[in-house]
Amino acid sequence: MPTAAAPAPVRQLDADHVTELTAVAAELLDIHGSATSPALLADLPLVRSRFSRELRHALRPVDTADGLFVVRGLHVDDADLGPTPGHWSTVGEAGALWDVVLLLVSTLMGTPIAWDGQQDGRFVHNIVPSPGHETVQTGASSSVLLAPHTEDAFHPGRAHLLLLCCMRNHDHIATTAASIRRADLPDEDVAELTRPVAPILPDDAYEDAQQFGGRPAPVPTLFATEDGLTLRYDPAYTPLDEADEPWRAAYGRLEDELARVSVAVSLRPGDVLVVDNDLVVHGRVPFRARYDGTDRWLKRASVRVPGRRSRPEAETAEHGYGQAALEAWPA
């Protein structure tokens, strides 16, 4: 279980920052009519220059060993939001302003991405508990621990940053997070886990990828960069029993160490948790979903940071199980 020994760093937005973000978001939504409009996505890089230097600094990417921070100061009106949907596909335009706000925050940090095989290619995903999915290892689960993992770990084009914006969290359900830069591993374990021994398979949110006919390739769990270790980790979708004993033992010690340094972040409505997906594994504690319109509801965005060198060059040769990552605007 997470220790929560050190609270997540907070970047507090002042009233002027909030007005900047929400006014531009409302303007874009009014012009384009939908948060999923391709024309709105194309406008995102054009409006970046309108934001103040102070706001752009507050919304810079993660730059500490914690590998995460919470943006605080935005406010979601629970009554205006409407009930928590029972499935992402029934959200429609509910909370559309916050989709655009999250896209703007993402654009100030890098390039938003989406997946052709997940949530109909949307650039903002809705994370809600769904009937029948209580025990699966995806964001739609509830009654089980969502095991700590790298987001979309199976894919070489996964996001550098993961953003989770809280719409509703009446039950104070915690997101868990653990940074590899806070872990203490012996050199022998690091050496073991930099070997490409086991593959990472697509998770249950990617049904088409799970049917892909290509042979899974083993990938390293840890990678050494100039700035320190990064990781690629998803034990729920890693066939550990196919690996050799020394590697499995090192992997188990990594799992224990990540649990030791894990923190619990209970998001308030309007909070945006920003996670460095190369440094931090994230998960969620179990909870009991009510399916009465008041359950936890997050919006999720994925971001690539241009020019980042935090992954092995060999990843570029991977097939990605046939999944294509979509960028919000042409490079």
Distance CA 53, CA 197 (A): 45
Average pLDDT, the chain: 94
Amino acid found at 155: H
Per-residue pLDDT, 207: 86
Amino acid found at 144: V
Upper half-sphere CA count for residue 327 (Cβ side, 13 Å): 11
| Distance from the Cα of residue 16 to its chain's centroid | 27
Per-residue pLDDT, 329: 87
Per-residue pLDDT, 3: 45
Per-residue pLDDT, 18: 97
Q: What angle do CA 106, 112, 115 make, to 5 degrees?
A: 140
Checking if the pLDDT of 331 tops 70, the result is no
Distance CA 249, CA 156 (A): 25
Checking if the pLDDT of 196 tops 70, the result is yes
What average pLDDT does range 188-210 have in this prediction? Answer: 93
Distance CA 209, CA 211 (A): 5
In this structure, of 33-42, 84-93, 107-116, the range with the lowest mean pLDDT score is 84-93
Checking if the pLDDT of 25 tops 50, the result is yes
Per-residue pLDDT, 152: 96
Count Cβ neighbours within 10 Å for each residue of 89-118 and write b for 16 or more, e otherwise: eebeebbbbbbbbbbbbbbbbbbbbbbebb
Per-residue pLDDT, 244: 96
Say which CATH topology domain 10-327 has.
Double-stranded beta-helix (3.60.130)
pLDDT tens-digit profile of 292-319?
999 999 999 999 999 898 899 999 999 9
Structure tokens, 26 = 């409302």
| Beta bridge partner(s), residue 176 | 264, 283
The full set of domain ranges for the chain reads 10-327
Helix axes of 15-32 and 96-109: crossing angle, nearest 10 degrees: 110
Q: What is the DSSP letter of 297?
A: E
Checking if the pLDDT of 7 tops 50, the result is yes
Contacts of 329 (CB under 8 A, 6+ apart): 41, 42, 44, 45, 111
Beta strand residue intervals within the chain, DSSP E: 10-12, 68-72, 111-115, 125-127, 146-149, 161-168, 174-179, 222-225, 228-231, 263-266, 272-276, 280-284, 297-304, 325-327
